[in-house]
Amino acid sequence: MSAGATFEARLKAQALGLGFDLAGIAALGPAETAPAFERWLAAGQHGEMAYLERGAAVRRDTTRPEPGMRSAVVVTLDYGGRSPHGTVARYARGDDYHRLMWDRLEELRAWVRAERGASVGGRAYVDTGPILERDLARRAGLGWFGKNTMLIHPGKGSFFFIGALFLDLDLVADAPLAGEHCGTCTRCLEACPTQAFVAPGVLDARRCISYLTIESRSVIPDGLRAPMGELVYGCDICQDVCPWNVKFAVAPPAEGTLAPHADRVAPDPHELLALDDAAFKARFGTSAITRTRRRGLARNAAVALGNRREPRDLEALARAAKTETDPIVRVQVLEALAQR
Protein backbone atom coordinates (compact mmCIF):
# COMPACT_ATOMS: atom_id res chain seq x y z
CA MET A 1 0.00 0.00 0.00
CA SER A 2 1.33 3.44 -0.93
CA ALA A 3 2.75 5.73 1.72
CA GLY A 4 0.03 8.26 0.92
CA ALA A 5 -2.89 5.90 1.56
CA THR A 6 -5.61 7.23 3.81
CA PHE A 7 -6.01 5.98 7.35
CA GLU A 8 -9.29 4.34 6.35
CA ALA A 9 -7.61 2.43 3.51
CA ARG A 10 -4.83 1.27 5.80
CA LEU A 11 -7.36 0.29 8.48
CA LYS A 12 -9.30 -1.92 6.07
CA ALA A 13 -6.07 -3.40 4.71
CA GLN A 14 -5.04 -4.23 8.27
CA ALA A 15 -8.38 -5.98 8.84
CA LEU A 16 -7.87 -8.08 5.72
CA GLY A 17 -4.31 -8.81 6.81
CA LEU A 18 -5.64 -10.20 10.08
CA GLY A 19 -7.63 -12.78 8.14
CA PHE A 20 -11.01 -11.20 7.54
CA ASP A 21 -12.42 -11.57 4.04
CA LEU A 22 -14.19 -8.21 3.68
CA ALA A 23 -13.90 -4.90 5.49
CA GLY A 24 -15.87 -1.68 5.20
CA ILE A 25 -16.50 1.43 7.25
CA ALA A 26 -19.87 2.82 8.36
CA ALA A 27 -20.84 5.90 10.32
CA LEU A 28 -22.90 5.07 13.40
CA GLY A 29 -26.40 6.40 13.82
CA PRO A 30 -30.05 5.46 13.29
CA ALA A 31 -30.50 2.03 11.74
CA GLU A 32 -32.40 2.28 8.46
CA THR A 33 -34.02 -1.12 8.95
CA ALA A 34 -35.19 -0.44 12.52
CA PRO A 35 -38.82 0.29 11.50
CA ALA A 36 -39.04 -2.99 9.56
CA PHE A 37 -37.42 -4.82 12.47
CA GLU A 38 -39.96 -3.42 14.91
CA ARG A 39 -42.85 -4.35 12.62
CA TRP A 40 -41.43 -7.86 12.53
CA LEU A 41 -41.36 -7.96 16.33
CA ALA A 42 -44.90 -6.59 16.56
CA ALA A 43 -46.10 -9.39 14.28
CA GLY A 44 -44.60 -11.94 16.66
CA GLN A 45 -42.42 -13.38 13.90
CA HIS A 46 -39.42 -13.57 16.24
CA GLY A 47 -41.07 -16.38 18.18
CA GLU A 48 -39.46 -17.13 21.54
CA MET A 49 -36.47 -14.80 21.00
CA ALA A 50 -37.55 -12.36 23.71
CA TYR A 51 -34.06 -10.88 23.92
CA LEU A 52 -34.75 -9.17 20.60
CA GLU A 53 -37.68 -7.32 22.15
CA ARG A 54 -35.69 -6.31 25.22
CA GLY A 55 -32.97 -4.72 23.11
CA ALA A 56 -35.21 -3.21 20.44
CA ALA A 57 -34.89 0.40 21.62
CA VAL A 58 -31.09 0.22 21.63
CA ARG A 59 -30.98 -1.44 18.21
CA ARG A 60 -32.69 1.58 16.64
CA ASP A 61 -29.44 3.55 16.74
CA THR A 62 -25.89 2.16 16.65
CA THR A 63 -24.60 5.01 18.82
CA ARG A 64 -26.57 3.61 21.78
CA PRO A 65 -24.90 0.27 22.62
CA GLU A 66 -21.58 1.95 23.53
CA PRO A 67 -21.80 5.71 24.22
CA GLY A 68 -19.19 7.82 22.48
CA MET A 69 -18.64 5.54 19.50
CA ARG A 70 -18.92 7.26 16.11
CA SER A 71 -17.75 4.82 13.41
CA ALA A 72 -17.52 1.08 12.85
CA VAL A 73 -15.18 -1.13 10.89
CA VAL A 74 -17.44 -3.96 9.71
CA VAL A 75 -15.82 -7.24 8.73
CA THR A 76 -16.81 -10.66 7.42
CA LEU A 77 -15.23 -14.08 7.83
CA ASP A 78 -16.08 -16.89 5.41
CA TYR A 79 -16.81 -20.31 6.92
CA GLY A 80 -17.01 -22.36 3.75
CA GLY A 81 -20.20 -22.75 1.76
CA ARG A 82 -18.75 -25.61 -0.27
CA SER A 83 -18.52 -27.88 2.75
CA PRO A 84 -20.45 -31.11 1.96
CA HIS A 85 -24.17 -31.29 2.61
CA GLY A 86 -25.01 -32.54 6.08
CA THR A 87 -27.50 -32.31 8.91
CA VAL A 88 -25.66 -29.57 10.82
CA ALA A 89 -25.47 -26.05 9.38
CA ARG A 90 -22.01 -25.31 8.01
CA TYR A 91 -21.31 -22.43 10.37
CA ALA A 92 -21.42 -24.76 13.40
CA ARG A 93 -19.18 -27.56 12.15
CA GLY A 94 -15.96 -25.99 13.36
CA ASP A 95 -15.17 -24.56 16.77
CA ASP A 96 -17.04 -21.52 18.01
CA TYR A 97 -16.23 -18.51 15.85
CA HIS A 98 -16.90 -15.81 18.44
CA ARG A 99 -13.50 -15.95 20.17
CA LEU A 100 -11.62 -16.12 16.87
CA MET A 101 -13.32 -12.99 15.57
CA TRP A 102 -13.11 -11.14 18.87
CA ASP A 103 -9.38 -11.78 19.09
CA ARG A 104 -8.82 -10.50 15.57
CA LEU A 105 -10.95 -7.41 16.21
CA GLU A 106 -8.99 -6.74 19.40
CA GLU A 107 -5.79 -6.96 17.37
CA LEU A 108 -7.29 -4.44 14.98
CA ARG A 109 -8.16 -2.15 17.88
CA ALA A 110 -4.56 -2.40 19.15
CA TRP A 111 -3.34 -1.36 15.69
CA VAL A 112 -5.69 1.65 15.71
CA ARG A 113 -4.36 2.75 19.09
CA ALA A 114 -0.79 2.38 17.90
CA GLU A 115 -1.63 4.59 14.92
CA ARG A 116 -3.91 7.15 16.54
CA GLY A 117 -3.09 7.06 20.23
CA ALA A 118 -3.80 4.88 23.25
CA SER A 119 -6.75 7.03 24.24
CA VAL A 120 -8.85 5.85 21.27
CA GLY A 121 -11.91 4.03 22.57
CA GLY A 122 -13.41 1.02 20.92
CA ARG A 123 -15.44 -2.12 21.36
CA ALA A 124 -15.72 -5.33 19.36
CA TYR A 125 -19.05 -6.98 18.62
CA VAL A 126 -19.67 -10.46 17.23
CA ASP A 127 -23.35 -11.44 17.52
CA THR A 128 -23.37 -10.33 21.15
CA GLY A 129 -24.65 -6.76 21.28
CA PRO A 130 -28.00 -5.11 20.54
CA ILE A 131 -27.01 -4.25 16.98
CA LEU A 132 -28.68 -4.84 13.62
CA GLU A 133 -25.49 -6.24 12.11
CA ARG A 134 -26.82 -6.72 8.59
CA ASP A 135 -27.96 -3.09 8.51
CA LEU A 136 -24.51 -1.92 9.55
CA ALA A 137 -22.76 -4.22 7.07
CA ARG A 138 -24.95 -3.02 4.21
CA ARG A 139 -24.16 0.58 5.09
CA ALA A 140 -20.46 -0.31 5.04
CA GLY A 141 -20.79 -1.48 1.43
CA LEU A 142 -20.50 -5.21 2.14
CA GLY A 143 -23.63 -6.37 0.34
CA TRP A 144 -27.38 -6.16 -0.13
CA PHE A 145 -30.28 -7.95 1.56
CA GLY A 146 -31.35 -11.00 -0.38
CA LYS A 147 -34.93 -12.24 -0.57
CA ASN A 148 -33.92 -14.84 2.02
CA THR A 149 -32.96 -11.93 4.36
CA MET A 150 -29.26 -12.83 4.19
CA LEU A 151 -26.59 -10.23 3.46
CA ILE A 152 -25.19 -11.15 0.04
CA HIS A 153 -21.90 -9.87 -1.35
CA PRO A 154 -21.50 -9.90 -5.15
CA GLY A 155 -18.14 -11.65 -4.98
CA LYS A 156 -18.52 -13.74 -1.82
CA GLY A 157 -22.13 -14.89 -1.56
CA SER A 158 -23.50 -15.17 1.98
CA PHE A 159 -21.68 -17.95 3.84
CA PHE A 160 -19.87 -15.63 6.24
CA PHE A 161 -19.95 -14.27 9.79
CA ILE A 162 -20.27 -10.54 10.47
CA GLY A 163 -18.37 -8.64 13.14
CA ALA A 164 -17.71 -4.99 13.92
CA LEU A 165 -15.21 -2.83 15.74
CA PHE A 166 -16.82 0.36 17.07
CA LEU A 167 -14.46 3.32 17.42
CA ASP A 168 -14.78 6.81 18.86
CA LEU A 169 -13.27 8.22 15.68
CA ASP A 170 -14.92 10.09 12.84
CA LEU A 171 -13.96 8.02 9.81
CA VAL A 172 -14.84 8.43 6.14
CA ALA A 173 -17.56 5.86 5.50
CA ASP A 174 -17.80 3.60 2.48
CA ALA A 175 -20.78 3.93 0.17
CA PRO A 176 -23.51 1.29 0.44
CA LEU A 177 -23.79 -1.07 -2.50
CA ALA A 178 -26.29 0.42 -4.92
CA GLY A 179 -29.57 -1.48 -5.26
CA GLU A 180 -30.21 -5.17 -4.78
CA HIS A 181 -29.09 -7.84 -7.16
CA CYS A 182 -31.51 -10.75 -6.80
CA GLY A 183 -33.55 -9.68 -9.80
CA THR A 184 -36.49 -11.97 -10.50
CA CYS A 185 -34.86 -14.98 -8.83
CA THR A 186 -36.98 -16.63 -6.12
CA ARG A 187 -35.08 -19.89 -5.67
CA CYS A 188 -34.53 -19.33 -1.95
CA LEU A 189 -38.22 -18.65 -1.30
CA GLU A 190 -39.32 -21.72 -3.24
CA ALA A 191 -36.74 -24.06 -1.70
CA CYS A 192 -37.66 -23.45 1.94
CA PRO A 193 -39.20 -26.75 3.18
CA THR A 194 -41.30 -25.04 5.85
CA GLN A 195 -42.36 -22.02 3.76
CA ALA A 196 -40.85 -19.67 6.32
CA PHE A 197 -40.73 -16.67 3.96
CA VAL A 198 -44.03 -14.83 4.12
CA ALA A 199 -42.79 -12.36 1.49
CA PRO A 200 -39.48 -11.59 -0.22
CA GLY A 201 -37.17 -10.36 2.52
CA VAL A 202 -39.57 -11.27 5.35
CA LEU A 203 -38.86 -14.37 7.43
CA ASP A 204 -41.31 -15.81 9.94
CA ALA A 205 -38.75 -17.29 12.32
CA ARG A 206 -41.41 -19.49 13.89
CA ARG A 207 -41.37 -21.60 10.71
CA CYS A 208 -37.62 -21.44 10.05
CA ILE A 209 -35.70 -24.68 10.59
CA SER A 210 -32.72 -22.79 12.00
CA TYR A 211 -34.96 -21.14 14.58
CA LEU A 212 -36.82 -24.37 15.37
CA THR A 213 -33.65 -26.40 15.91
CA ILE A 214 -31.56 -23.74 17.67
CA GLU A 215 -33.49 -20.89 19.26
CA SER A 216 -36.80 -22.51 20.14
CA ARG A 217 -36.94 -24.23 23.52
CA SER A 218 -40.29 -25.89 22.87
CA VAL A 219 -41.62 -29.03 21.23
CA ILE A 220 -41.45 -28.78 17.42
CA PRO A 221 -45.02 -28.11 16.21
CA ASP A 222 -46.96 -30.67 14.25
CA GLY A 223 -46.83 -29.81 10.56
CA LEU A 224 -43.24 -28.55 10.75
CA ARG A 225 -41.56 -31.77 11.85
CA ALA A 226 -41.79 -33.69 8.58
CA PRO A 227 -40.37 -30.85 6.43
CA MET A 228 -37.32 -30.74 8.73
CA GLY A 229 -36.21 -34.12 7.40
CA GLU A 230 -33.07 -35.21 9.23
CA LEU A 231 -31.68 -31.74 10.00
CA VAL A 232 -30.57 -31.58 13.62
CA TYR A 233 -28.94 -28.15 13.92
CA GLY A 234 -29.69 -25.23 11.64
CA CYS A 235 -30.37 -25.16 7.92
CA ASP A 236 -28.50 -23.93 4.84
CA ILE A 237 -31.12 -24.64 2.18
CA CYS A 238 -31.99 -21.04 1.24
CA GLN A 239 -28.27 -20.29 0.92
CA ASP A 240 -27.43 -23.49 -0.96
CA VAL A 241 -29.76 -22.64 -3.83
CA CYS A 242 -28.74 -18.98 -4.12
CA PRO A 243 -26.94 -18.41 -7.45
CA TRP A 244 -24.46 -16.10 -5.77
CA ASN A 245 -23.38 -18.94 -3.49
CA VAL A 246 -23.45 -21.51 -6.28
CA LYS A 247 -20.93 -19.31 -8.07
CA PHE A 248 -18.83 -17.84 -5.26
CA ALA A 249 -18.99 -20.11 -2.20
CA VAL A 250 -15.58 -21.49 -1.20
CA ALA A 251 -14.31 -24.58 0.56
CA PRO A 252 -14.04 -24.46 4.35
CA PRO A 253 -10.63 -24.03 5.99
CA ALA A 254 -8.62 -27.25 6.08
CA GLU A 255 -7.32 -26.46 9.56
CA GLY A 256 -7.81 -24.02 12.38
CA THR A 257 -10.82 -22.89 14.37
CA LEU A 258 -13.34 -23.00 11.52
CA ALA A 259 -12.25 -26.32 10.01
CA PRO A 260 -15.20 -28.74 10.12
CA HIS A 261 -15.06 -31.62 12.59
CA ALA A 262 -15.93 -34.87 10.85
CA ASP A 263 -18.47 -35.80 13.54
CA ARG A 264 -20.30 -32.47 13.18
CA VAL A 265 -21.27 -32.75 9.53
CA ALA A 266 -23.96 -35.42 9.81
CA PRO A 267 -23.88 -36.82 13.36
CA ASP A 268 -25.80 -40.02 14.03
CA PRO A 269 -29.14 -39.01 15.59
CA HIS A 270 -29.08 -42.23 17.62
CA GLU A 271 -25.94 -40.99 19.37
CA LEU A 272 -27.38 -37.50 19.83
CA LEU A 273 -30.54 -38.79 21.45
CA ALA A 274 -28.50 -40.92 23.85
CA LEU A 275 -26.18 -38.11 25.05
CA ASP A 276 -26.49 -36.93 28.63
CA ASP A 277 -25.46 -33.41 29.65
CA ALA A 278 -21.85 -34.36 30.40
CA ALA A 279 -21.43 -36.21 27.11
CA PHE A 280 -23.03 -33.34 25.22
CA LYS A 281 -20.56 -30.86 26.71
CA ALA A 282 -17.63 -33.16 26.08
CA ARG A 283 -18.53 -33.60 22.41
CA PHE A 284 -19.77 -30.12 21.51
CA GLY A 285 -18.32 -27.86 24.19
CA THR A 286 -16.09 -25.97 21.73
CA SER A 287 -18.87 -25.58 19.16
CA ALA A 288 -21.70 -23.14 18.54
CA ILE A 289 -23.92 -26.22 18.91
CA THR A 290 -23.89 -25.54 22.66
CA ARG A 291 -26.46 -22.84 21.85
CA THR A 292 -29.22 -25.44 21.63
CA ARG A 293 -28.12 -27.31 24.78
CA ARG A 294 -28.47 -31.05 25.23
CA ARG A 295 -32.25 -30.79 25.44
CA GLY A 296 -32.57 -29.07 22.06
CA LEU A 297 -30.20 -31.39 20.24
CA ALA A 298 -31.85 -34.52 21.64
CA ARG A 299 -35.27 -33.09 20.71
CA ASN A 300 -34.03 -32.48 17.17
CA ALA A 301 -32.57 -35.99 16.97
CA ALA A 302 -35.95 -37.42 17.96
CA VAL A 303 -37.59 -35.51 15.11
CA ALA A 304 -34.96 -36.78 12.65
CA LEU A 305 -35.49 -40.38 13.77
CA GLY A 306 -39.26 -39.98 13.53
CA ASN A 307 -38.94 -38.66 10.00
CA ARG A 308 -36.60 -41.43 8.86
CA ARG A 309 -38.55 -44.20 10.62
CA GLU A 310 -36.25 -47.11 9.92
CA PRO A 311 -36.77 -50.10 12.23
CA ARG A 312 -33.71 -49.29 14.32
CA ASP A 313 -34.88 -45.66 14.59
CA LEU A 314 -38.20 -46.73 16.01
CA GLU A 315 -36.41 -49.06 18.43
CA ALA A 316 -34.23 -46.18 19.65
CA LEU A 317 -37.27 -43.97 20.11
CA ALA A 318 -39.07 -46.70 22.02
CA ARG A 319 -36.10 -47.07 24.37
CA ALA A 320 -35.93 -43.30 24.88
CA ALA A 321 -39.64 -43.21 25.66
CA LYS A 322 -38.91 -45.43 28.66
CA THR A 323 -35.74 -43.72 29.89
CA GLU A 324 -35.85 -40.04 28.88
CA THR A 325 -36.39 -37.71 31.85
CA ASP A 326 -36.41 -34.33 30.14
CA PRO A 327 -40.08 -33.40 29.56
CA ILE A 328 -39.51 -31.63 26.23
CA VAL A 329 -37.40 -34.43 24.79
CA ARG A 330 -39.80 -37.06 26.08
CA VAL A 331 -42.79 -35.38 24.42
CA GLN A 332 -40.84 -35.09 21.16
CA VAL A 333 -39.90 -38.78 21.34
CA LEU A 334 -43.54 -39.76 21.81
CA GLU A 335 -44.59 -37.46 18.95
CA ALA A 336 -41.98 -39.11 16.73
CA LEU A 337 -43.26 -42.56 17.58
CA ALA A 338 -46.81 -41.50 16.75
CA GLN A 339 -45.81 -39.79 13.52
CA ARG A 340 -47.17 -41.21 10.28
Q: Which domain holds residue 291?
A: 187-338
Q: Is residue 222 part of a domain?
A: yes
Q: What is the pLDDT of residues 326-340, one digit of tens each?
A: 999 999 999 999 987
pLDDT reading at 178 higher than 90: no
Report, as an integer, the average pLDDT of 134-142.
97
- 28 near 69, Cβ under 8 Å? yes
- DSSP 8-state secondary structure symbol assigned to residue 162: E
Report if residue 179 sits inside a domain: no
| 306 in the same domain as 196 | yes
Which strand ranges, in their side-by-side order, compose the sheet holding 22-27? 22-27, 71-78, 160-167, 122-125
Q: Rounded to an integer, what distance in angstroms lies between the CA atom of residue 259 and that of residue 96?
A: 10
Last residue of a domain, one of 138, 167, 196: 167
* pLDDT (mean) for 173-178: 93
Residues 14 and 138 in one domain: yes
128 pLDDT more than 90: no
Spatial separation of the C-alpha atoms in residues 20 and 17, rounded to whole Å: 7
Pair (128, 196) in one structural domain? no
pLDDT for 3 beyond 80? no
Query: Which are the contacts of 247, defined by CB distance < 8 A and separation ≥ 6?
Result: 157
pLDDT computed for residue 1 by the predictor: 67
- Residue 103 sits in the same domain as residue 133: yes
Residue 31 has pLDDT above 90, yes or no: yes
Give the end of a domain, one of 109, 138, 167. 167
pLDDT in tens, 204-256: 999 999 999 999 999 999 999 999 999 999 999 999 999 999 999 999 999 99
Residue 127 bears catalytic tag:
yes
Beta strands 71-78 and 22-27: pairing type?
antiparallel
| 83 and 211 co-located in one domain | no
pLDDT digits (tens, 9 = 90+) for 320-329: 999 999 999 9
53-64 burial, b at 16+ Cβ within 10 Å, e below that, comes to eeebeebbebbb
In a domain, 37, yes or no: yes
pLDDT of residue 233: 98
CB 110 within 8 A of CB 120: no
> How many domains would you assign to the chain?
2
- Single out the catalytic residue among 61, 103, 127, 174: 127
